[in-house]
Amino acid sequence: AIMSSLLNVKQDSWKKYLNYGANAGDERLLSALRSFLLKRTADDDLGGVTPCDDGTTSDFFITCGVSHGLELLCSTCTNPGDEVWIERPTYFLCTQIFKSNGLSVKSL
């Protein structure tokens, strides 16, 4: 059944199915996320600008899970020696990820 399905895929479609997707994530998923957040924040009383106010999904990206997201956060938004505060209990790999990036971890 799998082989039959593979044989039915157009030859020029292989690039789409065998390559990585968009760096930020699937555009349909990002659009759905934007719509969801717009609905959830439309009536809150916090004010301010939400990441989806500009009408695009350029401020969103999809990670490969919590650990990947924390690693991206550390590599782009922190420097070794920075202090981070975490709640307790916390995600079981959180402390290890922060410490491996040279961060000083404090708990609330």
Domain ranges of the chain: 1-61, 63-108
Residue located via tokens 């719509």: 35
pLDDT in tens, 20-31: 666 777 888 888
* Res 81: pLDDT: 98
- How many CB atoms within 10 Å of residue 30? 20
Q: Please check the confidence at residue 108 and state whether its pLDDT lies above 80.
A: yes
The closest alpha carbon to 72, from 42, 99, 39, 97, belongs to 97
The pTM for the full model equals 0.60
* Res 33: pLDDT: 85
pLDDT in tens, 68-98: 999 999 999 999 999 999 999 999 999 999 9
Select, from the ranges 41-45, 52-56, 94-98, the one with the highest average predicted confidence (pLDDT): 94-98
Residues found in the chain? 108
The closest alpha carbon to 86, from 94, 74, 78, belongs to 94
* Res 73: pLDDT: 92
